[in-house]
Amino acid sequence: MREIYADNAATTKLSPVVLEKMMPYFTEVYGNPSSLYGIGQTAKKAVEDARENIAKNLGAKSPSEIYFTSGGSESDNWALKGICNRLKSRGKKHIITSKFEHHAILHTCKALEKDGFEVTYLDVYDDGLVRPEDVENAIREDTAIVSIMYANNEIGTIQPIAEIGAICKAHKVLFHTDAVQAAGYCKIDVQEQNIDLLSMTAHKIHGPKGTGLLYVRKGVLIDNLIEGGAQERNKRAGTENIAGIVGLDAAFQLALDTMDERNAKLEKLRDKLIDGLLEIPRSRVNGDRVHRLPNNVNMCFEGIEGESLLLRLEMAGISASSGSACTSGSLDPSHVLLAIGLPHEIAHGSTRMTFDETTTEEDIDYILETVPKIVKMLRDMSPLWEQIVKGEKSDAKFIG
């Protein structure tokens, strides 16, 4: 049976090229970068080389603007808590974000609300896009930071980051973006796009799990999240994850080197799959089709419960997701699909498939053969579907 891994937005396979670059730092170069002797200094050089190359790849002014962390969640927490706690004493107590951010942002906002901060959660409309004018209208005297993700992890929509950056700059408000899903797929230039803080992680781009970074523009003052030793210019304590940092740099470089060609290939496969799946009666694609990550397909099929579809897909060798790895196992419908205005019944029935450069046209053909059969079979067994067909119950507004 064909095996298709279609959950690359949850995590990716470590690239063998990346692994090879990481290997020496597990075994030979195991020194602590804070030590003065040879293997310590060799390790330190590896970290600083990675920092310099990543800074260049993000369009940063200086390597000192890159801080290595344990991943996207830590970077998101640090960006918001570090800035808000620093700016609190200047009377800044307002945060602007969107309703469909990753939980690393939303739950951090909830925690900050308990500490007395006020949060505006912007709408993302039915196309899954934040409107820059909504950001502008929400900015207040006391706004500390705007945090809008670059690309959404469930529906893959790509936000107008440069426009939002320009607005924040004009109003002298700090702008953070969670670029975890966008890195390696979208062009990032922190200066051109007026990004003050940016989160990234290695494991979504064929790098290792447990390593990420926070870019912080020079001059932006941020409180520490993790206290301890003097690592990362006294801003983020803890002995450096040397192999992870080397892997993050290698994975990002590889992703950038192959980006244009890979995106073109993936866009074709994505569009073929979406067009094919839309042939299923009463189906819909979630999120804008144009401003969309090249590897993201997210669909709903009316009358189908997401989890049952996933189980059948698994039996057919296809690893997909109902949205986000973080919420699977919970019975709540996706907050992202609710944010784009879907009713609960439909938000429960979503399926996300996210691909990578190893995905083939044959894989897509196989999915196109398999999904319609499963959907038909599940609908044939469903009393709900019977009601929908009889017109007793319908969400026709949402389903084409």
Ligand X SMILES: *Cc1c(COP(=O)(O)O)cnc(C)c1O
Residues forming contacts to ligand X in the complex (CB under 6 A) are 71-73, 76, 102, 104, 149, 153, 178, 180-181, 201, 203-204, 212
Q: Which residue number, 10 or 316, has a Cβ lying nearer to ligand X?
A: 10
Strand partners, 296: 354
Q: Which residue number, 107 or 393, has a Cβ lying nearer to ligand X?
A: 107
Q: Which residue number, 201 or 322, has a Cβ lying nearer to ligand X?
A: 201
Q: What is the DSSP letter of 183?
A: B
Q: How far apart are CA 211 and CA 71, in angstroms?
A: 5
Q: Which residue number, 73 or 157, has a Cβ lying nearer to ligand X?
A: 73
77, 199, 295, 260: CA torsion to nearest 10: 180
Identify whether 326 is a catalytic site residue: yes
Residues in the chain, overall count:
400
Amino acid at 331: L
Q: Which residue number, 124 or 280, has a Cβ lying nearer to ligand X?
A: 124
Per DSSP, helices labelled H in 229-360 are: 231-234, 242-257, 259-277, 306-315, 335-339, 344-347
Query: In this chain, which residue has its C-beta nearest to ligand X?
Result: 72
- Cβ atoms of 201 and 247 closer than 8 Å: no
Only one residue has tokens 């009377």, namely: 91
Rounded to a whole number of angstroms, the minimum distance from the CB of residue 238 to ligand X is 15
Region for 325 from its dihedrals, namely left if φ exceeds 0, alpha if ψ lies in -120 to 50, beta otherwise: alpha
DSSP per residue, 346-400: HHTTEEEEE--TT--HHHHHHHHHHHHHHHHHHHHT-HHHHHHHHTSS--TTT--
Instruction: Tell me which residue of 248, 244, 227 sits closest to 82, measured CA to CA.
Output: 227
Q: How far apart are CA 363 and CA 5, in angstroms?
A: 10
DSSP per residue, 149-161: -SB-TTT-BBP-H
Rounded to a whole number of angstroms, the minimum distance from the CB of residue 382 to ligand X is 32
Find the radius of gyration of the CA atoms of the chain: 22
Instruction: Give the pair of three-digit tokens for residue 178.
Output: 């969670």
Rounded to a whole number of angstroms, the minimum distance from the CB of residue 156 to ligand X is 11
Neighbours of 322 (CB within 10 A): 24
- Cβ atoms of 6 and 353 closer than 8 Å: yes
Instruction: Name the burial class of residue 38, with classes exposed (0-12), middle (13-18) and buried (19+) by CB atoms within 10 angstroms of its CB.
Output: exposed
Strand partners, 321: 352
Instruction: Name the burial class of residue 37, with classes exposed (0-12), middle (13-18) and buried (19+) by CB atoms within 10 angstroms of its CB.
Output: exposed
Supply the residues annotated as catalytic: 326
